[in-house]
Structure formats: structure tokens, C-alpha cells
């Protein structure tokens, strides 16, 4: 299994391009299930999670067109995606089942539930797996679809939902849920009458999805706020949609530059969806300049520790908590980091401690006291964003850091080691 070997201590410098957003692309690809006409997406990132979603859709009868090239790596020839355009044609949708084997690696597979049910009148979706960052139930998705008139049961590990035609309803989720909001918004597009989603997630990825659905003929207002209104229509049509830049990838590179005392420019990036992250980076002492489609950062010689509390957008994102823990591990002072979204999202802390970090955990709070230096060691990636924090720590640490289980990184960071190498890092993939 591949590992990452990093020789730390080099300040990052130069320029890299940010990819399309994984968390926008996943629901968008599922939205193609809602219509018989082809939907084309550009700026689709090359990620394992995207490959998994495309396979899942293909086995439902969706025609997937993506330019690929066949390469021979050792004994195993494999298809490598070229370009960033994917066209999906769900006119031949013939299997409304998302099997366990495909769903277990990626929780976002639950996003097929709403569109499948709305379009095919039935869906069987295995309960999801994905990152090991807590229980992460899907009860809110089920509650919403039930309120829209679906009959939903959980049988042998599968959510089984049926409805001749969904009916518009007033929906209220117990907590803010991103994929829950997306699932219900997609389902409501083809429901009869008006659906109102209260306590909706305001994440930019929800807005990106709504924009695409509107381009497909949906009638949606309020996305980006906490009340979304959807007037159901009889059918949606094809469209072309460019996926928004990945704000978490952007934030991760900003953190890597900050931690290494570097100065970099990220192109194809948007600062507008990153206010909370940029604010905190400025509090560490970094200089940040937002350009039209790019962001520049210049780090001070030593960062100041910053306390954070994760919460739904527009507050500080849970998906950036681990990367900030790496920053705080080498900053001046003590930071209090509170995780309010997921109950088991400090798994990177024990690995950072192996690199010499001073971290104490008490329930959902981490106390991180910065050290002037970290020391390279062998560490293990436990989930997607945890692995990103280990990469950042490895870039700072003296000597070599070997990161195991980097398949987690391949789920969410396109060409990570190539991009970091382009910024001057000494990083390579080893067996």
C-alpha cells in the first residue's frame, strides 16, 4: 500500500491551481439522476470519491462519459481520467439500488436516495460507511422524505424508500445537515407542490447544487439561507454546470504555507467562501490577499496560536479543524479547539503527538500548546482531513515523516504530492 514520505523544513513557495470541490461534485453528480436528459459537469476533480460515485451511478444504468486514458502500472492496467469534464445520461436508469460494496467506502453515496426516489419512485440504498469520524446517522434524510409522503424502512442494512410521487411539505431538520439538505432539496424538485426546508445548511456547496438544479429547470429560492423553498415541477432537463473551487483544498494549502513559513499563490480559488478560515489565518499573523480568482498568502516567521470552534457555515468548518491543529502544534501559545459537529474527530491528535506535538484532549475540546519544532516519525492517516493535518505537520517537522494509509488522502486531494512538490516540498509516494 502506498505511503507518503516527506522531508520537512522547506517553506512552501510558488503557485498551484485549486481543483473543483469534492463536496460540491458529489451531490451534483447525483442530481443528474433527476432527468432523462444529459447533464455535463466541468471542473470535476480527479478523486477516488468521484470515481466511486461514477461507478455507483453507472451500475444504476447511468451512461457516464469521461475522457480516459489506459495506462499500465505494473501488472494492473488502469483507466486514468483526462480532462475535467463528465457527462451523465440517466435516460436508461434501470436499477434503483446502491449496494453495500459500493456505498461502504463513501458516506456521500446516501445522496442518491432523494433523486432516485423522486425520479424512479423507489430506492434501496445501503446505510453508508465513509470516514470513521463518528456515528453519522441518516435519520434526518429519512425523516424529511417520510414527511414528503414516502414509505421508508430500514431492512437488512438498506434504506428502502417508496413513493408514487413525493408531495411538497414543510421540513425541519433537528440539526444542520449538509447532505441531508442536499438530498431533500433534490427530492423536492420533482415533488408535487411546495417544499420548505427549515434549518437548512447554508454551505456554499448547497448553493452550487441549487444553481445547477435551477439551470436544469428546478424552481428553488433561498439557497444559502436557512430556509429553502422549492416549487416542484414535473420534469427537469439537461444543463451544463461548472463545479465551484474546493474551499477545503484551498484552506489546506493556505495552512501548509502558513505552517512552513512560506508564501504561495493559489489560482482558480475563491476567498468568498473562506471568510472564517482566512480570518483565523490572519489572526496567526499571516498576510492574505484575495484576488479575483486567486488567493495569496505570506506567513510570518512564527505563527500565533489561534483558538477555534467548529460549527455549520458560515462559521469555522469542521473539515479545517485538523489542519489548524497542525498549525497550532507549531505556533506560539496555547489554543483551545472545540469540535461541535462530529463526536470523534480528534484522531489526528495522537498521530501529531507522535511527531512531538503537545496536545491534551478533554471530550470535544483539544488544548494545543505550540512547540518550536516537530520531529519526523511514522504516522497513520485515519480519515481524509486527519491525513491533511499529518501532511502539514510532516512538511514542518525536522527529518523524515512517513504517512501510512494515504488512500484517505486520495479520496479528497487531487494530485496532492505533485502540487506540494510544485511548491518546493520534498514529498514522494513510496511503496
Whichever of 253 and 342 has its CB closer to ligand UD1, that residue is 342
CA 315 from centre of chain? 16
CB of 389 to ligand UD1, least distance (A): 14
Conformation bin of residue 411: beta by default, left when phi > 0, alpha when psi is -120 to 50: alpha
Residues 6+ apart with CB under 8 A from 166: 117, 118, 145, 148, 149, 150, 187, 188, 190, 191, 192, 232
CB of 207 to ligand UD1, least distance (A): 13
Q: For the chain, state the CA radius of gyration.
A: 21
Catalytic residue among 131, 189, 212, 286: 131
DSSP state of 43: S
The answer to whether 141 contacts ligand UD1 (rule: CB under 6 A) is yes
Whichever of 248 and 425 has its CB closer to ligand UD1, that residue is 248
CA 361 from centre of chain? 25
DSSP characters over 10-28: PPPEEEEE--B-HHHHHHH
Strand partners, 335: 368
The answer to whether 177 contacts ligand UD1 (rule: CB under 6 A) is yes
Start-to-end C-alpha separation, the chain: 6
Q: Annotated catalytic, 30?
A: no
The sheet that has 227-231: what strands, in order across it? 170-172, 194-198, 227-231, 219-221
CB of 426 to ligand UD1, least distance (A): 29
CB of 155 to ligand UD1, least distance (A): 18
Region near ligand UD1 per CB under 6 A, out of 156-164, 178-186, 210-218, 283-291: 178-186
Binding mask 249-288 for ligand UD1 (x = CB under 6 A): ----------------------------------------
Identified binder of ligand UD1 from the candidate list 211, 252, 318, 321, rule CB under 6 A: 318
Whichever of 253 and 313 has its CB closer to ligand UD1, that residue is 313
Whichever of 334 and 364 has its CB closer to ligand UD1, that residue is 364
The answer to whether 139 contacts ligand UD1 (rule: CB under 6 A) is yes
Site for ligand UD1 in 321-360 (CB under 6 A): 341-342
Whichever of 141 and 265 has its CB closer to ligand UD1, that residue is 141
CB of 311 to ligand UD1, least distance (A): 9
Sign of CA dihedral 355, 357, 360, 364: negative
CB of 320 to ligand UD1, least distance (A): 10
DSSP state of 387: H
Whichever of 88 and 110 has its CB closer to ligand UD1, that residue is 110
Q: 168 near 230, Cβ under 8 Å?
A: yes
Site for ligand UD1 in 2-21 (CB under 6 A): none
Site for ligand UD1 in 81-110 (CB under 6 A): 107-108
> Which residue's entry shows cell 416549487?
231
CB of 221 to ligand UD1, least distance (A): 22
Binding mask 191-210 for ligand UD1 (x = CB under 6 A): --------------x-----
Q: 132 near 347, Cβ under 8 Å?
A: yes
Whichever of 23 and 328 has its CB closer to ligand UD1, that residue is 23
Q: Which three cell numbers stand for residue 334?
A: 496555547
Nearest of 423, 422, 371 to residue 398 by alpha carbon: 371
User: Given the DSSP bridges, would you call strands 227-231 and 219-221 parallel, antiparallel or unpaired?
Assistant: antiparallel
Sign of CA dihedral 370, 371, 375, 377: negative
Q: 241 near 30, Cβ under 8 Å?
A: no
Whichever of 311 and 421 has its CB closer to ligand UD1, that residue is 311
Region near ligand UD1 per CB under 6 A, out of 12-20, 276-284, 314-322, 356-364: 314-322
Nearest of 296, 242, 243, 245 to residue 270 by alpha carbon: 245
The answer to whether 382 contacts ligand UD1 (rule: CB under 6 A) is no
The answer to whether 391 contacts ligand UD1 (rule: CB under 6 A) is no
CB of 228 to ligand UD1, least distance (A): 15
User: For residues 266 and 246, what is the distance between their CA atoms, to the nearest angstrom?
Assistant: 11
DSSP state of 304: B
Identified binder of ligand UD1 from the candidate list 19, 43, 140, 401, rule CB under 6 A: 140
Active site residues: 131
Q: Which residues bind ligand UD1 (CB under 6 A)?
A: 23, 26, 107-108, 134, 136-141, 175, 177-180, 205, 317-319, 341-342
Amino acid at each position: 500500500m502506498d505511503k507518503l514520505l516527506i522531508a520537512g523544513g522547506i517553506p512552501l513557495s510558488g503557485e498551484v491551481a485549486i481543483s473543483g470541490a469534492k463536496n460540491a461534485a458529489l451531490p451534483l453528480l447525483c442530481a443528474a439522476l433527476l432527468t432523462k436528459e444529459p447533464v455535463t459537469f466541468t471542473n470535476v476533480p480527479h478523486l477516488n470519491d468521484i470515481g466511486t460515485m461514477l461507478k455507483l451511478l453507472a451500475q444504476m444504468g447511468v451512461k457516464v462519459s469521461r475522457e480516459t486514458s489506459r495506462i499500465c502500472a505494473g501488472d494492473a492496467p488502469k483507466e486514468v481520467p483526462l480532462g475535467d469534464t463528465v457527462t451523465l445520461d440517466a435516460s436508461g436508469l434501470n436499477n434503483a439500488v446502491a449496494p453495500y460494496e459500493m456505498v461502504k467506502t463513501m458516506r456521500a453515496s446516501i445522496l442518491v436516495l432523494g433523486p432516485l426516489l423522486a425520479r424512479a419512485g423507489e430506492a434501496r440504498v445501503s446505510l453508508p460507511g465513509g470516514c470513521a469520524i463518528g456515528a453519522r446517522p441518516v435519520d434526518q434524510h429519512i425523516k424529511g422524505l417520510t414527511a414528503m409522503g414516502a414509505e421508508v424502512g430500514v431492512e437488512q442494512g438498506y434504506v428502502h424508500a417508496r413513493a408514487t410521487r413525493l408531495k411538497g411539505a414543510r421540513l425541519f431538520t433537528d440539526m444542520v445537515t449538509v447532505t441531508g439538505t442536499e438530498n431533500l432539496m433534490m427530492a423536492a424538485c420533482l415533488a408535487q407542490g411546495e417544499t420548505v426546508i427549515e434549518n437548512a445548511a447554508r454551505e456554499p456547496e448547497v448553493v452550487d447544487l441549487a444553481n445547477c438544479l435551477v439551470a436544469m429547470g428546478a424552481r428553488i429560492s433561498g439557497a444559502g439561507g436557512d430556509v429553502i423553498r422549492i416549487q416542484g415541477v414535473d420534469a427537469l432537463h439537461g444543463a451544463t454546470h461548472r463545479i465551484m473551487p474546493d474551499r477545503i483544498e484551498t484552506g489546506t494549502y493556505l495552512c501548509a504555507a502558513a505552517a512552513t513559513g512560506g508564501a504561495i499563490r493559489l489560482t482558480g480559488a475563491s476567498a468568498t467562501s473562506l471568510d472564517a478560515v482566512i480570518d483565523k489565518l490572519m489572526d496567526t499573523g499571516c498576510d492574505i490577499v484575495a484576488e479575483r480568482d486567486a488567493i495569496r498568502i505570506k506567513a510570518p516567521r512564527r505563527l500565533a496560536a489561534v483558538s477555534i470552534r467548529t460549527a455549520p457555515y458560515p462559521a469555522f468548518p469542521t473539515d479545517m479543524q485538523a489542519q489548524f491543529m497542525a498549525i497550532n502544534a507549531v505556533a506560539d501559545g496555547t489554543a483551545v479547539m472545540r469540535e461541535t459537529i462530529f463526536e470523534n474527530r480528534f484522531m489526528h491528535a495522537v498521530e501529531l503527538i507522535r511527531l512531538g506535538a503537545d496536545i491534551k484532549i478533554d471530550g470535544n475540546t483539544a488544548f494545543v500548546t505550540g512547540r518550536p519544532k516537530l520531529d519526523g516519525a511514522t504516522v497513520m492517516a485515519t480519515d481524509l482531513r486527519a491525513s491533511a493535518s499529518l501532511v502539514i505537520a510532516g512538511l514542518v517537522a525536522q527529518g523524515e515523516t512517513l504517512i501510512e494509509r494515504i488512500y484517505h488522502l486520495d479520496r479528497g486531494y487531487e494530485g496532492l504530492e505533485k502540487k506540494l512538490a510544485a511548491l518546493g516540498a520534498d514529498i514522494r509516494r513510496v511503496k
